[in-house]
Amino acid sequence: MKLPEDTILAPDKFSRYLLIWRPVDDKSKFLAFAGYTSDNWQILIHDLRQQILVMDAMEVERKKYGTVYEIRGNLQGPNGKVLSVVTIWMTESKTGRTKFVTLYPAKGKRP
């Protein structure tokens, strides 16, 4: 199943979380391998929308707050390097809107 084209990819999720170094559960180093930084977070949103969101999503679980989906795929960054990623999305029960939750390296595919 495809997730909606108007799925929400909140800028703060990228500019203040994924692309900022964290001592625990850091994803910025992984994303930097493909050229994504806090200075070009808009490119990551664009690339997720163009390269990952167009792929089939698999329902992972239904929770009180919504249905969680996973899309696995390859993400080619601005420097041409490719990351194998698992992305998590949720369609909220209350609003019916779908939003990006997070991403992480596909197991065994860390650069």
Q: Which domain holds residue 97?
A: 11-105
- Torsion 94-6-80-18 (CA) sign: negative
With respect to residue 34, please indicate whether it lies within any of the assigned structural domains.
yes
Residue by residue, what is the 3-state secondary structure of 4-45?
A: CCCCECCHHHHHHHHCCCCCCCCCHHHHHCCCCCCCCHHHHH
Q: How far apart are CA 3 and CA 88, in angstroms?
A: 11
Q: What is the pLDDT of residues 94-107, one digit of tens each?
A: 999 999 999 999 98
Q: What is the pLDDT of residues 27-81, one digit of tens each?
A: 999 999 999 999 999 999 999 999 999 999 999 999 999 999 999 999 999 999 9
With respect to residue 110, please indicate whether it lies within any of the assigned structural domains.
no
With respect to residue 111, please indicate whether it lies within any of the assigned structural domains.
no
How high is the pLDDT of residue 108? 59
How many structural domains comprise the chain? 1
Total-model pTM: 0.93
Q: How far apart are CA 92 and CA 70, in angstroms?
A: 15
